[in-house]
Structure 1
Amino acid sequence: MIVCPNCNHPNPDGAVQCEACYTPLPATSACPNCGAIVQADASFCGQCGFNLRAAGVTSAAAEPDNIPSPDMAPAIAQTPASVSELSVPDSPTPQPLTFVPSILAEPIESVPISVAPPAVAASIEPVEPAATAGNLPIAVPRETSTQLQKQTAKLLHIQTNTTAELPQGLMVIHIGKPNDRIPPDIDVSGFPHSEVVSRIHADIRLEGDSYYIEDVGSSNGTYINNLPLAMGNRHRLRPGDRIGLGKGDKVTFLFQLS
Protein backbone atom coordinates (compact mmCIF):
# COMPACT_ATOMS: atom_id res chain seq x y z
CA MET A 1 0.00 0.00 0.00
CA ILE A 2 1.38 3.45 -1.01
CA VAL A 3 0.00 6.47 0.86
CA CYS A 4 -0.32 9.60 -1.32
CA PRO A 5 1.83 12.45 0.08
CA ASN A 6 -0.76 14.99 -1.16
CA CYS A 7 -4.15 13.67 0.04
CA ASN A 8 -3.13 10.65 2.23
CA HIS A 9 -5.17 8.31 0.06
CA PRO A 10 -4.02 4.64 0.30
CA ASN A 11 -3.10 3.27 -3.12
CA PRO A 12 -2.28 -0.33 -4.12
CA ASP A 13 1.34 -1.44 -4.40
CA GLY A 14 2.85 -0.66 -7.78
CA ALA A 15 0.67 2.41 -8.43
CA VAL A 16 2.48 5.39 -10.01
CA GLN A 17 -0.33 7.96 -9.68
CA CYS A 18 -2.79 8.66 -6.83
CA GLU A 19 -6.29 7.35 -7.53
CA ALA A 20 -7.89 10.30 -5.74
CA CYS A 21 -5.91 13.45 -6.66
CA TYR A 22 -3.73 12.14 -9.56
CA THR A 23 -0.53 13.21 -7.82
CA PRO A 24 2.59 11.20 -8.89
CA LEU A 25 3.48 8.65 -6.21
CA PRO A 26 7.03 7.99 -4.96
CA ALA A 27 8.87 5.07 -6.53
CA THR A 28 9.10 1.84 -4.50
CA SER A 29 11.39 -1.17 -4.38
CA ALA A 30 11.74 -4.43 -2.44
CA CYS A 31 13.86 -4.68 0.71
CA PRO A 32 16.82 -6.99 -0.03
CA ASN A 33 16.55 -8.44 3.49
CA CYS A 34 12.83 -9.19 4.05
CA GLY A 35 11.23 -8.37 0.67
CA ALA A 36 8.90 -5.69 2.08
CA ILE A 37 7.90 -2.81 -0.23
CA VAL A 38 9.77 0.39 0.70
CA GLN A 39 10.21 3.76 -1.00
CA ALA A 40 13.19 4.02 -3.33
CA ASP A 41 14.67 6.95 -1.39
CA ALA A 42 14.22 5.33 2.06
CA SER A 43 17.27 4.83 4.30
CA PHE A 44 15.90 1.97 6.43
CA CYS A 45 13.29 -0.74 5.87
CA GLY A 46 10.12 -0.03 7.85
CA GLN A 47 9.49 -3.77 8.31
CA CYS A 48 12.81 -5.19 9.48
CA GLY A 49 14.98 -2.06 9.99
CA PHE A 50 17.53 -3.13 7.35
CA ASN A 51 20.01 -0.34 6.42
CA LEU A 52 19.25 0.21 2.74
CA ARG A 53 21.91 2.91 2.29
CA ALA A 54 24.68 0.63 3.57
CA ALA A 55 23.59 -2.12 1.23
CA GLY A 56 23.77 0.28 -1.71
CA VAL A 57 27.27 1.52 -0.74
CA THR A 58 28.59 -2.04 -0.22
CA SER A 59 27.30 -3.18 -3.59
CA ALA A 60 28.81 -0.17 -5.32
CA ALA A 61 32.14 -0.51 -3.52
CA ALA A 62 32.41 -4.26 -4.23
CA GLU A 63 33.00 -3.62 -7.92
CA PRO A 64 36.15 -1.48 -8.27
CA ASP A 65 37.13 -0.75 -11.80
CA ASN A 66 39.81 1.08 -13.73
CA ILE A 67 42.52 -0.16 -11.21
CA PRO A 68 45.64 -1.33 -13.08
CA SER A 69 46.92 -4.74 -11.98
CA PRO A 70 50.58 -5.32 -11.02
CA ASP A 71 51.03 -7.38 -14.21
CA MET A 72 50.46 -4.26 -16.28
CA ALA A 73 53.37 -2.32 -14.71
CA PRO A 74 56.17 -3.95 -16.82
CA ALA A 75 54.20 -3.33 -19.99
CA ILE A 76 53.71 0.30 -19.11
CA ALA A 77 57.38 0.73 -18.11
CA GLN A 78 58.53 -0.67 -21.45
CA THR A 79 56.34 1.63 -23.46
CA PRO A 80 58.82 4.56 -23.74
CA ALA A 81 61.60 2.20 -24.87
CA SER A 82 59.39 0.62 -27.53
CA VAL A 83 58.33 4.01 -28.81
CA SER A 84 61.92 5.27 -29.03
CA GLU A 85 62.94 2.26 -31.11
CA LEU A 86 60.36 2.97 -33.82
CA SER A 87 62.00 3.74 -37.12
CA VAL A 88 60.84 6.93 -38.79
CA PRO A 89 61.24 6.98 -42.58
CA ASP A 90 63.38 9.72 -43.94
CA SER A 91 61.47 12.62 -45.41
CA PRO A 92 61.70 12.89 -49.18
CA THR A 93 64.27 15.25 -50.59
CA PRO A 94 62.61 18.59 -51.35
CA GLN A 95 62.33 19.46 -54.99
CA PRO A 96 64.84 22.06 -56.19
CA LEU A 97 63.58 25.58 -56.75
CA THR A 98 64.57 25.37 -60.39
CA PHE A 99 61.20 23.71 -61.15
CA VAL A 100 59.16 26.75 -60.09
CA PRO A 101 59.86 28.83 -63.18
CA SER A 102 58.74 25.95 -65.39
CA ILE A 103 55.32 25.91 -63.60
CA LEU A 104 54.92 29.66 -63.92
CA ALA A 105 55.76 29.40 -67.57
CA GLU A 106 52.32 27.93 -68.32
CA PRO A 107 50.18 30.33 -70.33
CA ILE A 108 47.59 32.16 -68.24
CA GLU A 109 45.06 31.86 -71.03
CA SER A 110 44.82 28.10 -70.45
CA VAL A 111 43.02 28.66 -67.11
CA PRO A 112 39.45 29.79 -67.84
CA ILE A 113 38.18 32.47 -65.44
CA SER A 114 34.58 33.57 -65.65
CA VAL A 115 33.78 36.99 -64.22
CA ALA A 116 30.24 38.30 -64.24
CA PRO A 117 29.89 41.78 -65.68
CA PRO A 118 29.16 44.46 -63.05
CA ALA A 119 25.90 45.44 -64.69
CA VAL A 120 24.56 41.86 -64.66
CA ALA A 121 25.66 41.24 -61.02
CA ALA A 122 23.93 44.44 -59.85
CA SER A 123 20.65 43.51 -61.55
CA ILE A 124 20.38 40.16 -59.77
CA GLU A 125 18.19 40.38 -56.67
CA PRO A 126 19.33 38.43 -53.61
CA VAL A 127 17.49 35.13 -53.27
CA GLU A 128 17.10 33.42 -49.93
CA PRO A 129 18.67 29.94 -49.95
CA ALA A 130 16.12 27.13 -50.02
CA ALA A 131 16.08 25.22 -46.74
CA THR A 132 15.55 21.67 -47.91
CA ALA A 133 16.61 18.22 -46.77
CA GLY A 134 16.49 16.01 -49.81
CA ASN A 135 13.06 16.67 -51.34
CA LEU A 136 11.39 17.69 -48.04
CA PRO A 137 11.12 21.44 -47.34
CA ILE A 138 12.15 22.64 -43.90
CA ALA A 139 10.25 25.51 -42.32
CA VAL A 140 12.69 28.19 -41.14
CA PRO A 141 11.20 30.49 -38.47
CA ARG A 142 11.80 34.17 -39.19
CA GLU A 143 10.88 35.69 -35.84
CA THR A 144 11.38 33.41 -32.88
CA SER A 145 10.44 36.10 -30.37
CA THR A 146 6.80 36.02 -31.45
CA GLN A 147 6.60 32.27 -30.80
CA LEU A 148 7.47 32.56 -27.07
CA GLN A 149 4.11 33.18 -25.42
CA LYS A 150 3.48 32.89 -21.72
CA GLN A 151 0.45 31.05 -20.45
CA THR A 152 -2.22 33.06 -18.65
CA ALA A 153 -3.81 31.45 -15.59
CA LYS A 154 -7.39 32.32 -14.63
CA LEU A 155 -9.95 31.41 -11.99
CA LEU A 156 -13.55 31.14 -13.24
CA HIS A 157 -16.08 31.74 -10.45
CA ILE A 158 -18.76 29.13 -11.10
CA GLN A 159 -21.58 30.79 -9.16
CA THR A 160 -21.37 34.11 -11.05
CA ASN A 161 -19.49 33.03 -14.22
CA THR A 162 -16.89 35.72 -13.46
CA THR A 163 -13.22 35.33 -14.44
CA ALA A 164 -10.37 36.49 -12.19
CA GLU A 165 -6.97 36.51 -13.89
CA LEU A 166 -3.97 35.59 -11.74
CA PRO A 167 -1.53 38.53 -11.43
CA GLN A 168 1.54 38.31 -13.65
CA GLY A 169 5.02 38.40 -12.13
CA LEU A 170 4.03 37.10 -8.68
CA MET A 171 5.54 33.88 -7.38
CA VAL A 172 2.99 33.69 -4.50
CA ILE A 173 -0.64 34.77 -5.00
CA HIS A 174 -2.69 35.24 -1.81
CA ILE A 175 -6.43 34.40 -1.88
CA GLY A 176 -8.73 35.77 0.79
CA LYS A 177 -10.37 38.98 1.99
CA PRO A 178 -8.97 42.38 3.06
CA ASN A 179 -7.00 42.29 6.33
CA ASP A 180 -4.18 44.19 8.04
CA ARG A 181 -1.64 41.32 7.84
CA ILE A 182 -1.48 39.91 4.29
CA PRO A 183 -3.54 41.84 1.71
CA PRO A 184 -5.09 39.40 -0.80
CA ASP A 185 -4.00 39.42 -4.43
CA ILE A 186 -7.37 37.84 -5.30
CA ASP A 187 -10.12 39.44 -3.18
CA VAL A 188 -13.23 37.24 -2.91
CA SER A 189 -15.13 39.58 -0.57
CA GLY A 190 -17.32 40.76 -3.44
CA PHE A 191 -18.56 37.26 -4.35
CA PRO A 192 -21.76 35.79 -2.86
CA HIS A 193 -21.37 33.70 0.34
CA SER A 194 -17.88 35.10 0.92
CA GLU A 195 -18.46 34.75 4.67
CA VAL A 196 -17.27 31.10 4.42
CA VAL A 197 -13.87 32.30 3.13
CA SER A 198 -11.16 33.28 5.62
CA ARG A 199 -9.32 36.58 5.36
CA ILE A 200 -6.08 34.63 4.85
CA HIS A 201 -7.37 31.48 3.16
CA ALA A 202 -5.07 29.93 0.49
CA ASP A 203 -1.96 30.61 -1.61
CA ILE A 204 -1.22 29.76 -5.23
CA ARG A 205 2.52 29.38 -5.93
CA LEU A 206 4.18 29.52 -9.35
CA GLU A 207 7.20 27.21 -9.80
CA GLY A 208 8.54 27.12 -13.35
CA ASP A 209 5.48 26.54 -15.55
CA SER A 210 3.41 24.85 -12.83
CA TYR A 211 0.92 26.28 -10.36
CA TYR A 212 0.42 24.81 -6.87
CA ILE A 213 -2.32 25.64 -4.33
CA GLU A 214 -2.11 25.17 -0.58
CA ASP A 215 -4.32 26.00 2.38
CA VAL A 216 -2.67 28.42 4.82
CA GLY A 217 -4.88 27.81 7.85
CA SER A 218 -8.41 28.71 6.75
CA SER A 219 -11.34 28.17 9.11
CA ASN A 220 -13.57 26.25 6.70
CA GLY A 221 -10.93 24.52 4.58
CA THR A 222 -9.98 24.31 0.90
CA TYR A 223 -11.32 21.59 -1.40
CA ILE A 224 -9.82 20.33 -4.66
CA ASN A 225 -12.27 18.45 -6.88
CA ASN A 226 -14.56 18.05 -3.83
CA LEU A 227 -11.75 16.52 -1.74
CA PRO A 228 -10.33 18.36 1.30
CA LEU A 229 -6.79 19.70 0.99
CA ALA A 230 -4.95 19.20 4.28
CA MET A 231 -3.12 22.24 5.64
CA GLY A 232 0.59 21.96 4.86
CA ASN A 233 -0.02 19.90 1.73
CA ARG A 234 -0.22 21.37 -1.73
CA HIS A 235 -1.85 20.31 -4.99
CA ARG A 236 -0.53 20.86 -8.51
CA LEU A 237 -3.27 22.61 -10.44
CA ARG A 238 -4.34 21.32 -13.83
CA PRO A 239 -6.79 22.95 -16.24
CA GLY A 240 -10.33 22.11 -15.13
CA ASP A 241 -9.49 21.54 -11.44
CA ARG A 242 -12.33 22.63 -9.14
CA ILE A 243 -11.24 24.81 -6.21
CA GLY A 244 -13.71 25.18 -3.34
CA LEU A 245 -13.08 27.85 -0.68
CA GLY A 246 -14.96 26.94 2.49
CA LYS A 247 -17.62 24.33 3.11
CA GLY A 248 -20.84 23.82 1.19
CA ASP A 249 -19.38 24.44 -2.30
CA LYS A 250 -20.61 28.05 -2.15
CA VAL A 251 -17.47 29.82 -3.39
CA THR A 252 -16.07 27.67 -6.19
CA PHE A 253 -13.57 28.38 -8.96
CA LEU A 254 -12.34 26.46 -12.01
CA PHE A 255 -8.61 26.70 -12.80
CA GLN A 256 -7.95 27.60 -16.46
CA LEU A 257 -4.89 28.13 -18.67
CA SER A 258 -4.92 30.08 -21.94
Structure 2
Amino acid sequence: MSAGTCPQGHLSQADDYCDVCGAPMTAAAPAAAPAAPAPAASSSATPAAAGPTAEVPCPNCSLPNLPGALFCEGCGYDFTTGALPRTAVPATVPDVNAAAPDAAVTLSAPVAPAVPLEWVAELWVDPDWYAEQDSTEPCPSPGLPVSVPLTVRSLLVGRVSRSRGIHPEIDCDGDEAVSRRQAQLTTDGTRWFVEDLASSNGTYVGPASGPLPTVPLTPGQRRELAEDDRVYVGAWTRLVVRRATPEEQVSGVV
Protein backbone atom coordinates (compact mmCIF):
# COMPACT_ATOMS: atom_id res chain seq x y z
CA MET A 1 0.00 0.00 0.00
CA SER A 2 1.39 3.33 -1.00
CA ALA A 3 1.56 6.14 1.53
CA GLY A 4 -0.84 9.02 1.18
CA THR A 5 -0.75 12.59 2.39
CA CYS A 6 -3.43 13.91 4.77
CA PRO A 7 -4.86 17.46 4.51
CA GLN A 8 -2.33 18.53 7.16
CA GLY A 9 0.58 17.32 5.08
CA HIS A 10 1.38 14.14 7.06
CA LEU A 11 2.40 10.91 5.33
CA SER A 12 0.00 8.10 6.31
CA GLN A 13 -0.09 4.40 5.42
CA ALA A 14 -3.81 4.26 6.25
CA ASP A 15 -6.25 5.42 3.60
CA ASP A 16 -9.15 6.31 5.97
CA TYR A 17 -7.59 8.50 8.74
CA CYS A 18 -4.12 9.96 9.05
CA ASP A 19 -1.72 7.88 11.17
CA VAL A 20 -0.28 11.09 12.66
CA CYS A 21 -3.16 13.50 13.29
CA GLY A 22 -6.28 11.40 12.63
CA ALA A 23 -7.64 13.71 9.95
CA PRO A 24 -9.85 11.98 7.32
CA MET A 25 -7.81 10.97 4.31
CA THR A 26 -10.83 11.41 2.02
CA ALA A 27 -10.49 15.15 2.39
CA ALA A 28 -7.06 15.01 0.85
CA ALA A 29 -7.06 15.99 -2.80
CA PRO A 30 -5.31 13.57 -5.21
CA ALA A 31 -1.99 14.65 -6.46
CA ALA A 32 -2.44 16.44 -9.79
CA ALA A 33 -0.15 16.14 -12.76
CA PRO A 34 2.06 19.10 -13.31
CA ALA A 35 0.17 21.61 -15.40
CA ALA A 36 1.52 22.99 -18.60
CA PRO A 37 2.82 26.48 -18.33
CA ALA A 38 0.09 28.97 -18.97
CA PRO A 39 0.53 31.46 -21.73
CA ALA A 40 1.66 34.83 -20.67
CA ALA A 41 -1.26 37.06 -19.90
CA SER A 42 -1.51 40.62 -20.84
CA SER A 43 -0.79 43.20 -18.22
CA SER A 44 -4.37 44.37 -18.34
CA ALA A 45 -5.84 40.97 -17.42
CA THR A 46 -7.54 40.67 -13.98
CA PRO A 47 -6.13 37.85 -11.81
CA ALA A 48 -8.62 35.07 -11.10
CA ALA A 49 -10.01 34.90 -7.53
CA ALA A 50 -8.90 31.96 -5.43
CA GLY A 51 -11.53 29.26 -4.98
CA PRO A 52 -13.02 28.35 -1.59
CA THR A 53 -10.81 26.24 0.70
CA ALA A 54 -12.29 22.89 1.86
CA GLU A 55 -12.88 22.64 5.63
CA VAL A 56 -11.49 19.72 7.61
CA PRO A 57 -13.93 17.84 9.91
CA CYS A 58 -12.69 17.03 13.39
CA PRO A 59 -12.23 13.26 13.79
CA ASN A 60 -13.43 13.54 17.41
CA CYS A 61 -16.55 15.74 17.21
CA SER A 62 -16.97 16.12 13.40
CA LEU A 63 -17.01 19.92 13.62
CA PRO A 64 -15.61 21.49 10.40
CA ASN A 65 -12.35 23.35 10.96
CA LEU A 66 -10.20 25.48 8.66
CA PRO A 67 -7.27 23.75 7.03
CA GLY A 68 -4.09 24.29 9.01
CA ALA A 69 -5.92 24.61 12.36
CA LEU A 70 -3.86 23.20 15.19
CA PHE A 71 -6.83 22.46 17.48
CA CYS A 72 -10.52 21.83 16.92
CA GLU A 73 -12.57 24.87 17.81
CA GLY A 74 -15.34 22.66 19.19
CA CYS A 75 -13.65 20.07 21.39
CA GLY A 76 -9.97 21.04 21.40
CA TYR A 77 -8.77 18.00 19.46
CA ASP A 78 -5.06 18.33 18.61
CA PHE A 79 -4.74 17.98 14.83
CA THR A 80 -0.94 17.82 15.06
CA THR A 81 -0.51 14.97 17.54
CA GLY A 82 -3.94 13.36 17.36
CA ALA A 83 -4.37 13.72 21.13
CA LEU A 84 -7.96 13.68 22.31
CA PRO A 85 -9.16 16.58 24.46
CA ARG A 86 -9.09 16.15 28.23
CA THR A 87 -12.39 15.56 29.95
CA ALA A 88 -13.26 18.58 32.07
CA VAL A 89 -13.66 17.76 35.74
CA PRO A 90 -16.50 19.75 37.29
CA ALA A 91 -15.41 21.91 40.16
CA THR A 92 -16.59 20.66 43.52
CA VAL A 93 -18.86 23.12 45.25
CA PRO A 94 -18.31 22.95 49.01
CA ASP A 95 -21.35 22.14 51.08
CA VAL A 96 -21.78 25.22 53.23
CA ASN A 97 -24.01 23.40 55.67
CA ALA A 98 -21.58 20.51 56.06
CA ALA A 99 -18.47 22.67 56.29
CA ALA A 100 -19.84 25.12 58.81
CA PRO A 101 -19.58 23.89 62.40
CA ASP A 102 -22.78 23.50 64.35
CA ALA A 103 -23.19 26.76 66.28
CA ALA A 104 -25.20 25.05 69.01
CA VAL A 105 -22.41 22.54 69.60
CA THR A 106 -19.62 25.10 69.36
CA LEU A 107 -21.18 27.60 71.73
CA SER A 108 -22.59 25.20 74.28
CA ALA A 109 -20.92 25.12 77.64
CA PRO A 110 -19.20 21.88 78.69
CA VAL A 111 -21.40 19.70 80.83
CA ALA A 112 -19.94 18.81 84.21
CA PRO A 113 -19.82 15.09 84.95
CA ALA A 114 -22.42 13.75 87.36
CA VAL A 115 -21.29 13.61 90.99
CA PRO A 116 -22.80 10.82 93.10
CA LEU A 117 -24.55 12.02 96.24
CA GLU A 118 -22.74 10.85 99.40
CA TRP A 119 -24.08 13.02 102.23
CA VAL A 120 -27.41 14.58 103.20
CA ALA A 121 -28.60 16.82 106.02
CA GLU A 122 -31.97 16.15 107.63
CA LEU A 123 -34.00 18.99 109.15
CA TRP A 124 -36.45 17.91 111.86
CA VAL A 125 -39.03 19.65 114.02
CA ASP A 126 -38.00 18.53 117.53
CA PRO A 127 -40.76 19.00 120.15
CA ASP A 128 -38.36 18.12 122.99
CA TRP A 129 -35.96 20.88 121.96
CA TYR A 130 -38.87 23.29 121.62
CA ALA A 131 -40.00 22.46 125.15
CA GLU A 132 -36.64 23.61 126.52
CA GLN A 133 -36.75 26.96 124.71
CA ASP A 134 -38.45 30.13 125.84
CA SER A 135 -40.28 30.71 122.56
CA THR A 136 -43.57 32.50 121.99
CA GLU A 137 -43.97 30.97 118.52
CA PRO A 138 -46.16 27.86 118.29
CA CYS A 139 -44.29 24.68 117.44
CA PRO A 140 -45.29 23.13 114.11
CA SER A 141 -46.44 19.54 114.02
CA PRO A 142 -43.57 17.06 113.69
CA GLY A 143 -43.51 15.22 110.41
CA LEU A 144 -41.08 13.72 107.96
CA PRO A 145 -37.71 15.46 107.79
CA VAL A 146 -36.59 17.72 104.97
CA SER A 147 -33.52 16.20 103.29
CA VAL A 148 -30.93 18.54 101.84
CA PRO A 149 -28.20 17.06 99.56
CA LEU A 150 -24.71 18.10 100.65
CA THR A 151 -22.87 18.52 97.35
CA VAL A 152 -20.29 21.17 98.31
CA ARG A 153 -17.64 21.33 101.02
CA SER A 154 -19.06 24.35 102.82
CA LEU A 155 -22.73 25.14 103.47
CA LEU A 156 -24.42 27.97 105.31
CA VAL A 157 -27.17 27.20 107.83
CA GLY A 158 -29.66 30.02 108.34
CA ARG A 159 -32.61 31.87 106.84
CA VAL A 160 -32.99 33.74 103.55
CA SER A 161 -32.61 37.53 103.53
CA ARG A 162 -33.00 38.98 100.05
CA SER A 163 -32.27 42.52 101.23
CA ARG A 164 -28.93 41.39 102.67
CA GLY A 165 -28.20 38.89 99.91
CA ILE A 166 -28.17 35.87 102.24
CA HIS A 167 -29.20 32.59 100.64
CA PRO A 168 -28.19 29.66 102.87
CA GLU A 169 -27.79 26.20 101.36
CA ILE A 170 -29.56 24.76 104.42
CA ASP A 171 -32.62 26.99 104.78
CA CYS A 172 -34.37 26.91 108.18
CA ASP A 173 -37.05 29.34 107.08
CA GLY A 174 -40.09 29.11 109.36
CA ASP A 175 -38.10 28.95 112.59
CA GLU A 176 -37.84 32.64 113.44
CA ALA A 177 -35.37 31.90 116.23
CA VAL A 178 -32.73 30.85 113.67
CA SER A 179 -30.36 33.66 112.69
CA ARG A 180 -29.91 34.65 109.06
CA ARG A 181 -26.33 33.39 109.30
CA GLN A 182 -26.61 30.78 112.02
CA ALA A 183 -23.80 28.27 111.44
CA GLN A 184 -21.42 26.85 108.84
CA LEU A 185 -21.10 23.18 107.91
CA THR A 186 -17.78 22.13 106.36
CA THR A 187 -16.15 18.85 105.38
CA ASP A 188 -12.70 17.55 104.46
CA GLY A 189 -14.24 14.75 102.42
CA THR A 190 -14.60 12.24 105.26
CA ARG A 191 -15.46 14.30 108.35
CA TRP A 192 -18.00 17.06 108.98
CA PHE A 193 -17.60 20.12 111.19
CA VAL A 194 -20.03 22.76 112.46
CA GLU A 195 -19.15 26.33 113.46
CA ASP A 196 -21.39 28.93 115.07
CA LEU A 197 -21.35 32.29 113.27
CA ALA A 198 -22.09 34.45 116.33
CA SER A 199 -25.79 33.66 116.10
CA SER A 200 -28.39 35.24 118.39
CA ASN A 201 -29.56 32.05 120.10
CA GLY A 202 -26.45 29.87 119.74
CA THR A 203 -25.69 26.55 118.08
CA TYR A 204 -25.78 23.35 120.16
CA VAL A 205 -24.40 19.86 119.54
CA GLY A 206 -25.33 16.71 121.45
CA PRO A 207 -25.44 12.91 120.98
CA ALA A 208 -28.67 11.20 119.99
CA SER A 209 -28.64 8.96 123.08
CA GLY A 210 -27.79 11.65 125.65
CA PRO A 211 -29.67 14.56 127.17
CA LEU A 212 -30.29 17.72 125.22
CA PRO A 213 -27.24 20.02 125.15
CA THR A 214 -27.28 23.13 127.30
CA VAL A 215 -23.95 24.76 126.44
CA PRO A 216 -23.70 26.48 123.03
CA LEU A 217 -20.66 26.24 120.81
CA THR A 218 -18.06 28.98 121.05
CA PRO A 219 -18.55 31.22 118.00
CA GLY A 220 -15.79 30.89 115.41
CA GLN A 221 -14.57 27.48 116.68
CA ARG A 222 -15.23 24.37 114.60
CA ARG A 223 -16.66 21.28 116.25
CA GLU A 224 -16.25 17.88 114.60
CA LEU A 225 -19.50 15.98 114.38
CA ALA A 226 -19.59 12.39 115.57
CA GLU A 227 -21.68 9.85 113.70
CA ASP A 228 -24.64 10.13 116.11
CA ASP A 229 -24.38 13.86 116.89
CA ARG A 230 -27.34 16.19 116.49
CA VAL A 231 -27.16 19.94 115.85
CA TYR A 232 -29.84 22.09 117.52
CA VAL A 233 -30.64 25.65 116.42
CA GLY A 234 -33.52 28.08 116.83
CA ALA A 235 -36.71 27.17 118.66
CA TRP A 236 -37.36 23.69 117.29
CA THR A 237 -34.90 22.84 114.50
CA ARG A 238 -32.75 19.73 114.75
CA LEU A 239 -30.15 19.01 112.07
CA VAL A 240 -28.58 15.61 111.38
CA VAL A 241 -25.71 14.97 108.95
CA ARG A 242 -25.60 11.39 107.66
CA ARG A 243 -24.49 9.35 104.67
CA ALA A 244 -26.93 9.05 101.80
CA THR A 245 -28.80 5.79 101.38
CA PRO A 246 -28.38 3.78 98.15
CA GLU A 247 -31.81 5.01 97.01
CA GLU A 248 -30.80 8.62 97.63
CA GLN A 249 -27.54 8.09 95.78
CA VAL A 250 -29.45 6.88 92.72
CA SER A 251 -32.16 9.54 92.79
CA GLY A 252 -29.98 12.35 94.12
CA VAL A 253 -27.28 12.47 91.43
CA VAL A 254 -26.45 16.12 90.69
Report the TM-score when normalising by structure 2: 0.37
Question: Which one has the bigger helix percentage?
Answer: 1
Report the TM-score when normalising by structure 1: 0.37
Point out the structure with max Rg over C-alpha: 2
